[in-house]
């Protein structure tokens, strides 16, 4: 397999940014953007957020608002039409979004046309003149380098309960699973508690997010009722450790996918990320949670 480099990741992300820029008024499925960049749909959005510092939706919304600002500044197009072409169905919603970005209302922005600082053109938003690949610089959060280790895991047979909904409401699935296994005496010191994260909450609507609460079990364990059994694929994984509350996990994912992965020479394969919970949330303060994140990698 060809080893990916930072330049390769930058080239692929540049293709996506140019595609979005050229199709700014279209509703482009995330799968199509992932295909444009030749990234796994499972991980494309986290790679995008990690490298750009914003989600795809935030990126598109910002470009549309910046285009709207140029139209307000350089044309006499009615504000209602500018709002509609920016993707807003009402003048009020457009005004709120525009003021949040620019600090003034659209009409105030237009009235300051002669004195307001010059806005960059869309072609300059992420690239210098000419759009050279080397001009696109991924986000670099700074601070200490992220500690990541590549580990090879064997297949893991797990009992699981599927949760559909916001990640912060998955506690019920864990309670049912642990109660079921606990009654059978199947929770021991070697049991691994694993979250199988099928969806990115920045992409999938909260009420559609799929999450499996999993515990490792032996080969003779049989599914029963809503407790299912599956095998998590083995292979190479990139492991990093997240310290702190679960609602900050996305920040660690962004660094892993946007900072470490493009410089690693590796590619993510199409499989969910795994979260190994190393602390008991019932007896641990959120600030002291320890979670190992495993991102699945293509074989070298």
Digit-coded pLDDT (tens) for 55-78:
898 889 888 998 898 888 878 889
Do 6-135 and 149-296 show the same overall fold?
no
Digit-coded pLDDT (tens) for 114-126:
444 444 444 334 4
What is the model's pLDDT at position 226?
A: 94
Tokens of 185: 């005496």
- Sequence spans of domains, the chain: 6-135, 149-296
Average the pLDDT over 198-215 and give the result.
87
Pick the CATH number of 149-296 from 1.20.1250.20, 3.30.830.10, 3.30.499.10, 3.20.80.10: 3.20.80.10
Q: How far, in Å, CA of 101 to CA of 97, rounded? A: 6
**CATH superfamily placement of domain 6-135:** Homeodomain-like (1.10.10.60)
What is the model's pLDDT at position 18?
A: 86
pLDDT of 138 > 90? The answer is no
pLDDT of 113 > 70? The answer is no
Cβ neighbours around 228 below 10 Å, total? 14
Global pTM reads 0.75
Digit-coded pLDDT (tens) for 144-183:
788 999 999 999 999 999 999 999 999 999 999 999 999 9
What is the model's pLDDT at position 109?
A: 87
Instruction: Report how far Cα 104 is from the mean position of its chain's Cα atoms.
Output: 30
Q: How far, in Å, CA of 189 to CA of 168, rounded? A: 26
Average the pLDDT over 20-27 and give the result.
87
**130: confidence class by pLDDT, cuts 50, 70, 90:** very low
**25: confidence class by pLDDT, cuts 50, 70, 90:** confident
């Amino acid at each position: 397999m060809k080893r990916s480099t930072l330049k390769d990741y930058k080239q692929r992300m540049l293709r996506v940014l140019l595609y979005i820029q050229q199709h700014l008024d279209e509703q482009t499925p995330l799968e199509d953007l992932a295909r444009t960049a030749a990234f796994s749909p499972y991980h494309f959005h986290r790679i995008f957020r990690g490298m750009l510092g914003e989600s795809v939706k935030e990126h598109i919304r910002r470009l549309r608002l910046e285009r709207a600002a140029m139209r307000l500044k350089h044309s006499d197009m009615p504000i209602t039409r500018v709002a509609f072409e920016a993707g807003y169905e009402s003048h009020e919603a457009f005004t709120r979004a525009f003021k949040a970005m620019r600090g003034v209302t659209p009409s105030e922005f237009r009235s300051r046309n002669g004195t307001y600082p010059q806005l960059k053109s869309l072609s300059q938003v992420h690239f210098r003149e000419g759009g050279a690949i080397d001009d696109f610089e991924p986000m670099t959060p700074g601070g200490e380098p992220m500690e990541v280790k590549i580990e090879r895991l064997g297949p893991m047979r797990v009992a699981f309960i599927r949760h559909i909904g916001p990640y912060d409401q998955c506690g019920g699935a864990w309670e049912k699973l642990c109660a079921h296994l606990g009654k059978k005496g199947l929770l021991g010191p070697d049991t691994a508690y694993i979250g199988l994260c099928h969806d990115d909450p920045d992409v999938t609507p909260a009420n559609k997010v799929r999450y499996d609460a999993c515990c490792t079990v032996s080969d003779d364990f049989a599914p029963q009722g809503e407790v299912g059994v599956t095998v998590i694929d083995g292979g190479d994984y990139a492991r990093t450790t997240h310290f702190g509350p679960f609602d900050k996990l996305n920040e660690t994912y962004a660094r892993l996918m946007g900072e470490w992965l493009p410089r690693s020479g590796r590619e993510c394969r199409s499989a969910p990320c795994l979260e190994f919970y190393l602390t008991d949330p019932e007896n641990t303060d959120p600030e002291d949670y320890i979670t190992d994140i495993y991102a699945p990698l293509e074989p070298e």
